[in-house]
Every structure is written in C-alpha cells, then in structure tokens.
C-alpha cells in the first residue's frame, strides 16, 4: 500500500494496483496475512498487506482500530452502542451495516478519537 495525496494504492492478490479514496472505505478486516478492504460495493478487495501496515497509514486519515481484526473509518460509524456481553460495539453506515465488537482494550482510544 502506498499513499498519493488523497488516494491510497492497494496491492491486490492478482498483482493489480488500484488507487482508492480512503474516505470510500468503511472497514479494514484482517484475513490471515492479508487485509480485506470493504467499501460500498458487495465484494471486498483483498490487499496483500497486513492490517498493522494499514493502521499506521490510515489513523491520520480518520480510521481507528476497534479490535485486533478490524479497523473502521470513523466517518462511516453510524453508532457506538452497548453490546449484549456488557462491552461496546460499532455499527457502520449503510450499505455496509456491519456491527463489530470493540475490544475492551480499545474503547478508551475510540472515545478519545471522538473527543471524549
């Protein structure tokens, strides 16, 4: 993954490179040693890089890691709500609509990102 001003260059499994606007990304999901990039369309893109590589580059762009396996675009968070297990979870905007757990370790950093 490389950055160029307002676009990120994804490195796909088939060798293709695709520039995307990071604000179009809703969710980054660890999948083995690769990262699934979930955008508005139904099929995620798979980048050959690890989630940890994305976190460093994406945090200044408004992303936060909410769990060891997930990072979200804070501009795409619809709500942060109590989870049935007593923790917290985030719900993303449509059309993705995913609900993800927030690890207890990461909830205070999430509140800080929203100014609390």
CB 48 within 8 A of CB 31: no
* 2 has a pLDDT exceeding 60: no
How would you classify the pairing of strands 34-38 and 27-31?
antiparallel
Beta strands in 7-62 (DSSP E): 7-11, 17-20, 27-31, 34-38, 45-47
Domains and CATH numbers, the chain: 2-113 (2.40.50.1020)
64/74 Cα distance (integer angstroms): 7
Tokens 């995913």, located at residue: 98
Q: What's the pLDDT at 56?
A: 86
Where is pLDDT greater, at 7 or 12?
A: 12
Percentage of the chain beyond pLDDT 90 is 78
Beta-carbon count within 10 A of 45 CB: 17
> Would the pLDDT of 66 be above 70?
yes
Residue of 68, 92, 71 whose CA lies nearest to 80: 92
Residue 1 clears pLDDT 60, i.e. is over it: no
Is the pLDDT score of 7 beyond 90?
no
The phi-psi region of residue 75 (left if phi > 0; otherwise alpha if psi is between -120 and 50; otherwise beta) is alpha
- Does position 18 have pLDDT exceeding 60, yes or no? yes
Q: Does residue 43 carry a pLDDT above 90?
A: no
pTM value? 0.89
- Strands 77-82 and 88-92, by their bridges, are antiparallel
């Amino acid at each position: 993954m490389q950055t160029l001003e307002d676009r990120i260059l994804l490195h796909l499994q088939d060798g293709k490179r695709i520039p995307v606007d990071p604000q179009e990304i809703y969710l980054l999901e660890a999948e083995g040693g690769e990262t699934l990039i979930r955008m508005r369309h139904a099929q995620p893109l798979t980048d050959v890089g690890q989630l940890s590589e994305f976190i460093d580059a994406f945090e200044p762009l408004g992303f936060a890691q909410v769990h060891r396996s997930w990072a979200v675009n804070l501009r795409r968070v619809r709500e942060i709500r109590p989870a049935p297990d007593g923790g917290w979870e985030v719900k993303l905007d449509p059309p993705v609509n995913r609900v993800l757990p927030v690890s207890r370790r990461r909830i205070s950093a999430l509140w800080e990102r929203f100014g609390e």
